[in-house]
Chain A
């Protein structure tokens, strides 16, 4: 098991956002995480990236006790994510955004930067890697364009490129298809599978586009009110009575 989430609970004042959530993800899988609005999917992401502290539960990632690791060490462990509502660096160019994503892959600190020992070399290396990633996501033409003001779909792809720059083993995607057209959604599905294979990733995918989740996931976890209501292969989850009830005959 790459990720092992046990009985995790998160509270915001009176709201219980996660309520004893338990699930595991196998290495190399694409795991879909679905659930109606407010189910707690983004909260789950924020717990794994150590932005929120759960008041109960355990998470282990590849044998490490994740909850004892500070937020800035998560990237080093090989965990990278995208944000549902975008959390880019608007004044930086696309290339620079991706270069920050590679922060955990560099080592130049204050002393080396001031004395310029190895800083140039590291810049060149990280620039090249970042440029290649922009190319993987068809963003290389915009490399020197500032991130601010570009279309939402473009920025969503930039978030993926930036996350990949950390050379992660585990990638969390929070609604990467939001705001995309139908054909773009299909294209994105192919991209996700392609990067999973190319970079040997395990993926946790939150998405409201059910057809996309069901098409590319190896395993699906369904949530409602902070709890897991179903788990299994896409077809198992799709026909689960609880899931159908939760979506009230929605897309599923």
Chain B
């Protein structure tokens, strides 16, 4: 087994090689893959961002939220309304969505985060259930277009980056979605990392591990919980903006705007590894991959699959996806990230830098 000192030459070498491989992959996908594949990655980025935002609240701070689909929806609707009705350029809608979702998140968080455990799950679930109803509400139709939602969100001022792939035409839209999604993902990841690796992050984990002790150490528990909820809501809204820009449509029964969305974010976070920075990335990629590979299965319902799934009128894809996720959870209860860590620990350990110069 390899033992590597933190900050040593080898450690840096591993980091640089890893980063270079990642960069190559990131450039390879939009330049060499087919359009459908590029689009799948773009939607994976959206889901990863949403799962990352939930991870800050649930994975790191230990406060469950089933209401994140509402924040996703707030982002989606903010972008749609501002672009279609007010002629905003898409870039600025990110800022607007982030601010609106932050305020709404704090306003919801302030009363809600005093509740704990199963009750918090219930109250946030109510938020998720109420949100689509609110969108369909007659008195809000002037804003949300009611049940039919907002479609044809068009924008044509795409920036042209010649190196990053062809951006014109249909292909161009997928490539654009890819790079835009990646950009937002990187920003959100860096924000999360900055938070976690600081005094704030330590206080979040402290709240998760032992709220009373955290307060005794000087952590303002209520304030911290509300602020992280607000920040998380605004990150989730960015994912919603991306989804609207990618598809051009947002409706009250869109998959991620309803409770199902919250559950998918939760699933991605848990499968990837709750309370780890990169967990949602792995979870999101695996989810989208499974979703796409299982979707085609059993459409002709013949052979073994037809036999196995013949008893239900559900699409086999959903069931296979669910089963696959259960299997992952059985083999990796700490998520795929936990599994990955265990495996790398077999190969090498990073020895932390000797701290403290005294003595």
- What residues on B are CB-neighbors of A36 within 8 Å? none
Q: How many residues of B contact A (CB 8 A)?
A: 34
CA distance in complex: A113, B356 (Å): 23
- A108 engages B216 (CB within 8 Å): no
- B200 engages A131 (CB within 8 Å): no
A99 interface residue (CB < 8 Å to B): yes
A149 interface residue (CB < 8 Å to B): no
B170-213: contact bitstring with A at CB < 8 Å (1 yes, 0 no)?
Answer: 00000000000000000000010011011111110110111011
The residue among B191, B206, B220 with the most chain A CB atoms within 10 A of its own CB is B206
A96-135 contacts to B, CB under 8 A, are 96, 99-101, 103-104, 106-110, 112-116, 119, 122-123, 126-128, 131-132, 135
- What residues on A are CB-neighbors of B213 within 8 Å? 83, 87-89
Which of B200, B205, B210, B358 sits near A110, CB closer than 8 Å? B200
- B209 engages A92 (CB within 8 Å): yes
B247-274 contacts to A, CB under 8 A, are none
Contact A119 to B197, CB < 8 A, known contacts A87-B210, A103-B202, A114-B191? yes
- What residues on A are CB-neighbors of B355 within 8 Å? 95, 127-128, 131, 143
B319-359: contact bitstring with A at CB < 8 Å (1 yes, 0 no)?
Answer: 00000000000000000000000000000000010011111
Q: How many residues of A contact B (CB 8 A)?
A: 48
- 12 A-B interface contacts by CB (under 8 A): A75-B218, A88-B210, A92-B202, A92-B209, A103-B218, A113-B199, A119-B198, A122-B199, A123-B198, A131-B355, A132-B356, A143-B352
Query: B: which residues have CB within 8 A of A?
Result: 191, 194-195, 197-203, 205-206, 208-210, 212-221, 227, 231, 275, 352, 355-359
Known: A87-B213, A110-B231. 5 other contacts (CB 8 A): A87-B210, A100-B217, A100-B219, A108-B199, A114-B194
The 7 A-B pairs at the shortest CB distance, nearest first, are namely A75-B218, A104-B218, A89-B209, A113-B198, A87-B213, A131-B356, A119-B198
